[in-house]
Amino acid sequence: MHESSAPPTGFLRKHVFSLDHKVIGKQYLDLALVAVVTGMGLSWLMRFHLAYPDIAIPGLGRFAPNAAPGGVMTPELYLSLMTMHGTIMVFFVLTTAPFAGFGNYVLPIQLGAEDMAFPRFNMMSFWVTCVAFLVLLAAFFVPEGPPISGWTAYAPLSAIGKDAGPGQGMGQTLWALSIAIFCVGQLLGSLNFIATTLDLRTRGMTLMRMPFSAWAWFITSVIGLIAFSVLLPACILLILDRVAGTSFFIPGGLVVSDRLQPHSGGSPLLWQHLFWFFGHPEVYIAILPGFGIVSHILPAFARKPLLGPKVALVCMGAIGFLSYTVWGHHMFLSGMNPLSATLFSVPTLVITIPATIMVLLWIGTVYGSRMRFTTSALFCLGFVSVFVSGGISGFFLAQPSIDTYLHGTYFVVGHFHFVMGVAAMFGIFAGTYFWFPKMYGRMMNETLGKIHFTLTLIGVYATFMPMHYLGLAGNVRRYSAFTDDYMKGSLPLHRFITMAALFTGAVQVIFFVNLIWSRLRGARAPDNPWQATSLEWSIPSPPPFDNFGGHHPVVLHGPNEYGGTGPAGDCVMQAAPTTQVTR
Amino acid sequence: MATLKLTSPARTGVWIGIATITMSFTAYTSAMVVRQGSGADWQHVALPRILYVNTLLLLLSSGTLEAGRRRLSVAWLSITMALGLLFIAGQVLAWRELASLGVYLATNPASDFFYIFTALHGLHLLGGIVALGYVMVRLRVSRGGPPLAALSAASLYWHFMAVLWLYLLLVLATRL
Amino acid sequence: MGKLFAAVVAVVTVISAGVFIARIWWLPPDISVLGSGIDQQMTETMVASGILFVASQLTLALFAWKYADAGDGRPIKVFPGGATPMVVISIVLVSAEILVLTLVGTKVWGGIFLSPPDPNALKIDVQAEQFAYYFRYPGLDGKLGLAHPELIDASDGNFYGLDFANDTTGRDDIVSASLVVPVDRPVLLSLHAKDVGHAFYVPELRIQQDFVPGLVIPLQFTATQVVKKEIVCTQLCGLGHFNMRAYLDVVTPEQFDQWLKDQAP
């Protein structure tokens, strides 16, 4: 396990190449923070251009003189920003923060372990992810810039090479390389999570006594293992098509930029199948940790158990399993056999059932509770609201005949931003406000937190709900400007969305100020500021380097024992009292 | 202080690794099936005979590995590693034979998959060789007792490499 | 704070739902025989989802309003029936909805994509490329010439790569940058892509279909009004994607015949 039972020494060992899951978790969260600021900045540039296509953006002309002559964004720059925005957000924010970030920090402690099963692989997985991020960012600095094929990188646009357009040369190759490297990091991470959950639980911590967050991370890591094992081959085949002259995804007879392409026999649909076989489970990888985090946190602030704990676990497992049966719903209009549309549509609609049950369980938990509306609790409740909004729009898209109209419109953009960009983010915020005291030994400022929450909730609804209206009117997505007769009229609503997006982005400054200020000047955090039951609240804030001070906690209870009237208060800690570590 | 372990994490880790590798080769296999049907340019690749010799070497190495594992013998493990390296050398010879016939990576879709399957398997086997080397070093320098968990994990991985190769050989022989 | 949360959620819900109900932004009127089927399904889904949306958001808001910790140590209340009503409602309600929508939807879907092509259909070849559409009509011989990608010469107007020298069937083909069709007559499009993936989308026709390089994909529709609408590309195809469009020009049968005569090379 650990090389020695003494804490590491030296700056590099302690802060850079640390084997400590707590340091690695924080490193992932810091990486996600850098990524989300970058991704959000890209979206501001995009939104500004959409609302005011002819106006020069200050500074842009100097940073990208070819792609934005005089500061006015060209279509290819817009598309490359859009590609990088999607890639950075989906991979480096939504797959890292809720899973690798919080999971790494919290999971071993919640299980009563000293560290993850393979600390060296853990460290490697973080640094591999960092390398992937740097390789991706390098695409900004090659002469033709980043790729313009979207985060979905459909072939043959992504496979042909330079002829297909600006950014499709080196930029696209760097993208494919970056994602392939990212896959390796994720697979190492999944390996660790699964082995840790199966093998390192402390005495008394049966699977059924694991906190909901631990279950969510476990299910997520199993999904991730299978999904990323398919994305990696897909990226390798794409790279081979681009540099080795193969034709996995490129059919014959293509004339691009007046050149007959030297490929033949490949299938663009093969890329779509491989990509979406990964891509759909990926979005559940983004949201399931949020399910677990909310299910874990809400009872603590409601002071009552989560309604239907076993049902919740079955639902999370069902969602994980079903996520592998629905990928074709991204391809209803792709030219695949129309009969298969029904085949994919039914499980897509059926997934609504466990998702609905989860929502009702959360709402049912609030019923009759003694809710403490801390910022973390508010983000949990906000999660329920925005997940309902995002899930319902999915119900439309799941039906092929309706998708015939809504596919490729802003309705889809509104849908996935609600479930991923908002709901998953709310899960991350809930986790941050909840575990910050444990991680840094200081409380976050609740007033700033509540302002952050309220303004963000209003802001995200103002930003993303109108996109559904645009979609209903037939407004097409991935357009860098609206010059069509029928889409020109949508500009006022686009301007409203841009204002809302900039407003919501500005509000996040409050969050950053809170993070920094609390690190330096926050009130000292007790071991268990929230009076919660799971093992992380039975150790000091911040924890000692080996979590449990060399002891092994013995677990006597499940994590859901709130609402009683016992002598020690209205909840029962998971660990037996004598094995709790106190300062 | 060692953390309580319910089962050996090293072996669990290898099982998880087996799941991943299986899934990725499933993805390659389905890509191959689709590609075979999507274009009219599939050309049969005659498998170099040396592949069958290599197969025998790999199967033999599984046997020597078991001998080494039961007897905790560095000698038997060295033979296993040598057989593994011979296997890889044999694979390289197979590539050179194909290259001399003008069949390279991008020559036709069937050759694509020949090279992809053999190269990826060889790479993963190299990983197994490194793991074996690590176990041998720890056996030699056994300060805290023989590395039973690591040896068991490395063996599991090695045997899986042989099973995987048998599957790939079957695919190459019947579909290419 | 719970009350503030409840208020925000309630206001947002009412405004969002209100805009949907008021149809301030809505689908344009359809001009297709299949349009009413899709629109009906859209409305049904909107009503069912709308009820679920409003009910769940307002319930969440209500509970957040009511159940704050008042510090008086009152006991918690478990939802009557526990988790069972949640499971039952979800399974029954959602399954019923799924059943209805799948049955109705499959009929509509089949109408667009699984119906055999009408024998009376006007056959038009469509080529999508970066960043334009070209529509090819068979000439008087009723046949389309063979297209050869290697012969494509855009500067010479030979968008399809027709072999004028050796192929007689292609000489009278009419290539147009607009899709001109007669009203109330089935049209069978044959979609293929010259370079990368594209798509064909006419919101008013309620149809959409990707162009997949290497495949020839059929798409059938019947326009019910004499009108001019835009065809736009919805599959990201490069920097000109936002500007890739053509006009669908639905005309009377007489105007169509005249147009064909005028276009004859």
Give A334-363 pLDDT, tens digit per residue.
989 999 999 999 999 999 999 999 999 999
Each residue's pLDDT tens digit, A276-292: 999 999 999 999 999 99
Cβ–Cβ gap B3/A550 under 8 Å:
no
Backbone torsions φ then ψ of A254, nearest 5 degrees: -85, 135
The dihedral through the CA atoms of A39, A40, A44, A47 has a sign that is positive
How far apart CA A67 and CA A72 sit, in angstroms, is 8
Q: How many CB atoms lie within 10 A of CB A131?
A: 16
What are the structure tokens assigned to A9, written together?
């020494």
pTM above 0.90, yes or no: yes
Find the length of chain C.
265
Please report the residues numbered 21 through 80 in chain B whose beta carbons come closer than 8 angstroms to any beta carbon of chain A. Answer: 21, 23-24, 26-28, 31, 34-35, 38-42
Q: What is the structure's pLDDT at A442?
A: 97
Please report the residues numbered 381 through 400 in chain A whose beta carbons come closer than 8 angstroms to any beta carbon of chain C. Answer: 381-382, 384-385, 388-389, 392, 395-396, 399-400
Cβ–Cβ gap A307/C108 under 8 Å:
no
What is the DSSP secondary structure assignment for residue A326, as one 8-state letter? -
CA distance B175 to chain A (A): 17
Cβ–Cβ gap C214/A335 under 8 Å:
no
**Comparing C-alpha atoms, which of B88, B89, B110 is closest to residue B44?**
B110
pLDDT band with cut points at 50, 70 and 90 for residue A70 = confident
Q: What is the structure's pLDDT at B6?
A: 58
Least-confidence region, from A54-58, A134-138, A154-158: A54-58
Radius of gyration of chain A (CA): 24
Count of CB pairs separated by less than 8 Å, A with B: 121
Cβ–Cβ gap A154/C239 under 8 Å:
no
- Alpha-helix residue ranges (DSSP H) falling in A367-490: 375-397, 400-406, 410-416, 425-440, 446-472
Chain mean position to CA A155: 25
Residue of B22, B24, B120 to mutate for A, most A C-beta atoms under 10 A: B24
Least-confidence region, from A217-231, A272-286, B1-15, C136-150: B1-15
B2 pLDDT more than 50: no
Rounded mean pLDDT, C64-89: 89
Cβ–Cβ gap B109/A191 under 8 Å:
no
Q: How many CB atoms lie within 10 A of CB A427?
A: 31
**Comparing C-alpha atoms, which of C126, C158, C244 is closest to residue A258?**
C158
- Chain A residues with CB inside 8 Å of C28's CB? 473-474, 486
Chain C residue with CA closest to A392: the answer is C49
Asked whether the beta carbons of C104 and C41 are under 8 A apart, the reply is yes
- Chain A residues with CB inside 8 Å of C91's CB? 353, 357
Cα angle at A327 between A268 and A393, to 5 degrees? 120
User: Taking all residues of chain A, what is their mean pLDDT, rounded to a whole number?
Assistant: 93
Rounded mean pLDDT, A494-516: 97
Cβ–Cβ gap C196/A157 under 8 Å:
yes
CA distance C211 to chain A (A): 7
Chain B residue with CA closest to A546: the answer is B1
Q: What is the structure's pLDDT at A104?
A: 97
* Nearest Cβ partner for C105 among A359, A399, A479: A399
Q: Please, which residues bridge with residue C247 across strands?
A: C230
Cα angle at A534 between A529 and A537, to 5 degrees? 35
How far apart CA C105 and CA A400 sit, in angstroms, is 7
Least-confidence region, from A401-405, B153-157, C76-80: C76-80
Q: What is the structure's pLDDT at C165?
A: 84
CA distance A217 to chain C (A): 23
Pairing of strands C174-176, C132-137: antiparallel
Q: What is the structure's pLDDT at B98?
A: 93
For C193, residues 6+ apart whose C-beta sits below 8 A from its C-beta are C127, C128, C129, C211, C212, C213
Each residue's pLDDT tens digit, A21-31: 999 999 999 99
Least-confidence region, from A566-580, B14-28, B52-66, C54-68: A566-580
Cβ–Cβ gap A246/B34 under 8 Å:
no
User: Taking all residues of chain C, what is their mean pLDDT, rounded to a whole number?
Assistant: 92
- Chains linked to B by 3 or more Cβ pairs within 8 Å: A
A538 pLDDT more than 90: yes
C140 pLDDT more than 90: no
Chain C residue with CA closest to A408: the answer is C234
Q: What is the structure's pLDDT at B140?
A: 85
Each residue's pLDDT tens digit, A456-472: 999 999 999 999 999 99
* Nearest Cβ partner for B9 among A114, A117, A251: A117
* Nearest Cβ partner for A201 among B6, B105, B112: B6
Q: What is the structure's pLDDT at A566?
A: 63
Tell me the CA end-to-end span of chain C in Å, nearest whole number.
75
Q: What is the structure's pLDDT at C2?
A: 92
Please indicate whether residue A313 or residue A16 has the higher confidence score (pLDDT).
A313
CA distance A279 to chain B (A): 14
What are the structure tokens assigned to A119, written together?
């600390």
Interface check for A138 against chain C (CB to CB < 8 A): the answer is no
Rounded mean pLDDT, B161-165: 97
CA distance A380 to chain C (A): 12
Q: What is the 3-state secondary structure (H, E, C) of A129-191?
A: HHHHHHHHHHHHHCCCCCCCCCCCCCCCCCCCCHHHCCCCCHHHHHHHHHHHHHHHHHHHHHH
How far apart CA C67 and CA A177 sit, in angstroms, is 51
A503 pLDDT more than 80: yes
Q: What is the structure's pLDDT at A2?
A: 44
**Comparing C-alpha atoms, which of C224, C122, C112, C238 is closest to residue C179?**
C122
- Chains linked to C by 3 or more Cβ pairs within 8 Å: A
Q: Please, which residues bridge with residue A255 across strands?
A: A260
Asked whether the beta carbons of A69 and A1 are under 8 A apart, the reply is no
Rounded mean pLDDT, A494-513: 97
B7 pLDDT more than 70: no
pLDDT band with cut points at 50, 70 and 90 for residue A1 = very low
| Alpha carbon distances (Å) from B47 to A235, A307, A420, B30, B35 | 27, 61, 48, 21, 19
Chain A residue with CA closest to B112: the answer is A246
B4 pLDDT more than 70: no
A445 pLDDT more than 80: yes
Cβ–Cβ gap A363/C60 under 8 Å:
yes
Rounded mean pLDDT, B115-134: 96
Q: Would you call A271 helix, strand, or coil by DSSP?
A: helix
Q: Please, which residues bridge with residue C169 across strands?
A: none
Cβ–Cβ gap A202/B31 under 8 Å:
no
C188 pLDDT more than 80: yes
Chain B residue with CA closest to A240: the answer is B106
Rounded mean pLDDT, A92-96: 97
**Neighbour order of strands in the sheet with C228-232:** C179-182, C245-251, C228-232, C198-202, C207-211
Cβ–Cβ gap C209/A333 under 8 Å:
yes
Cβ–Cβ gap A265/B35 under 8 Å:
yes
**Neighbour order of strands in the sheet with C132-137:** C174-176, C132-137, C122-129, C186-193, C217-222
* Nearest Cβ partner for C69 among A346, A370, A395: A370
Q: What is the structure's pLDDT at C59?
A: 97
Helices H, strands E: what count in chain B?
A: 5, 0
* Nearest Cβ partner for B35 among A5, A196, A266: A266
* Nearest Cβ partner for B39 among A5, A233, A265: A265
Asked whether the beta carbons of A329 and A345 are under 8 A apart, the reply is yes
Cβ–Cβ gap A114/B3 under 8 Å:
yes
* Nearest Cβ partner for A274 among B1, B27, B40: B27
What ipTM was estimated for this complex?
0.95
Residue of A304, A332, A359, A370 to mutate for C, most C C-beta atoms under 10 A: A370
A4 pLDDT more than 60: no
- Chain C residues with CB inside 8 Å of A457's CB? 5, 8-9, 12
- Chain A residues with CB inside 8 Å of B116's CB? 236, 240
Asked whether the beta carbons of B84 and B58 are under 8 A apart, the reply is yes
Cβ–Cβ gap A198/B1 under 8 Å:
no
